[in-house]
């Protein structure tokens, strides 16, 4: 097994845009799934089936059908954040940004900012903030999602930090020169 330093160097070589020392899989919170144990298992199974149905409908281009499936899922378990997160994606596809933000706010609230649904909702909300030109809100949500283990969010935080981006660019250039040194011009 490679040391942490070795892993950080390899990460810098293979993913030059990531912050140096930012090794995928390290420093991630253990909660990478949602805790459904507080809900009745039969209801969770029913809601998950509706969510799978909604995703299939959305992928097939039936956005209205997907919205109906996700709305039914939310109606069955209104305290479960995943349904709001999924419905927000469909609302966004329909152009209802305000409705999507409302559902994402609810998903973040219900999740207690823990678990997979929280990370996904924070990333979606950050993207909507960015599209609306609300960069501070976008950065805040990306940071919180990165803390929950979202690799995409961690990358976005790096891109939003001009100093980190400059350092990563310089590191990438240096690593490229080490891999392919220029011939001596004597």
Domain for residue 123, yes or no? yes
Which has the closest alpha carbon to 47: 7, 95, 10, 84? Answer: 84
Whether pTM exceeds 0.75: no
pLDDT of residue 159: 78
pLDDT of residue 12: 53
CB 148 within 8 Å of CB 29: yes
Domain for residue 17, yes or no? no
Query: Which CATH number belongs to the domain containing residue 111 in this structure?
Result: 1.25.40.10
As a whole number, mean pLDDT of residues 40-54 equals: 94
The distance from CA 82 to its chain's CA centroid, rounded to whole angstroms, is: 13
Give the three-state DSSP class for 86: helix
Domain carrying residue 137: 40-177
pLDDT exceeds cutoff 80 at 106: yes
pLDDT one-digit tens code per residue, 63-99: 999 999 999 999 999 999 999 999 999 999 999 999 9
Q: What is the mean pLDDT of the chain?
A: 82
Domain for residue 88, yes or no? yes
pLDDT exceeds cutoff 50 at 25: no
Q: Write a three-state SS string for 39-74.
A: CCHHHHHHHHHHHHHHHHHHHCCCHHHHHHHHHHHH
Domain for residue 11, yes or no? no
Domain for residue 155, yes or no? yes
pLDDT one-digit tens code per residue, 125-162: 999 999 999 999 999 999 999 999 999 898 888 877 76
The distance from CA 147 to its chain's CA centroid, rounded to whole angstroms, is: 10
CB 50 within 8 Å of CB 70: yes
Q: What is the distance between the alpha carbons of residues 46 and 66, in angstroms, rounded to a whole number?
A: 15
Domain for residue 91, yes or no? yes
Domain for residue 50, yes or no? yes
Q: Which letter does DSSP use for residue 184 in this model? A: P
Structural domains of the chain, count: 1
């Amino acid at each position: 097994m490679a040391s942490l330093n070795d892993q950080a160097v390899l990460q810098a070589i293979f993913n030059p845009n990531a912050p140096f020392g930012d090794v995928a899989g390290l420093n991630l919170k253990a909660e990478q799934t949602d805790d459904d144990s507080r809900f009745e298992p039969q209801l969770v199974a029913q809601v998950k089936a509706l969510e799978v149905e909604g995703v299939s409908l959305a992928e097939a281009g039936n956005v209205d059908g997907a919205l109906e499936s996700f709305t039914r899922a939310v109606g069955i378990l209104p305290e479960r954040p995943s349904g709001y997160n999924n419905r927000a994606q469909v609302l966004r596809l329909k152009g209802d940004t305000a409705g999507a933000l409302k559902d994402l706010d609810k998903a973040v609230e219900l999740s207690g900012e823990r678990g997979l649904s929280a990370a996904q909702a924070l990333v979606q909300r950050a993207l909507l903030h960015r599209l609306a030109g609300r960069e501070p809100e976008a950065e805040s949500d990306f940071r919180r999602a990165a803390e929950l283990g979202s690799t995409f969010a961690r990358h976005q935080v790096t891109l939003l930090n001009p100093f980190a981006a400059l350092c990563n660019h310089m590191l990438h250039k240096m690593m490229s020169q080490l891999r392919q040194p220029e011939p001596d011009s004597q």
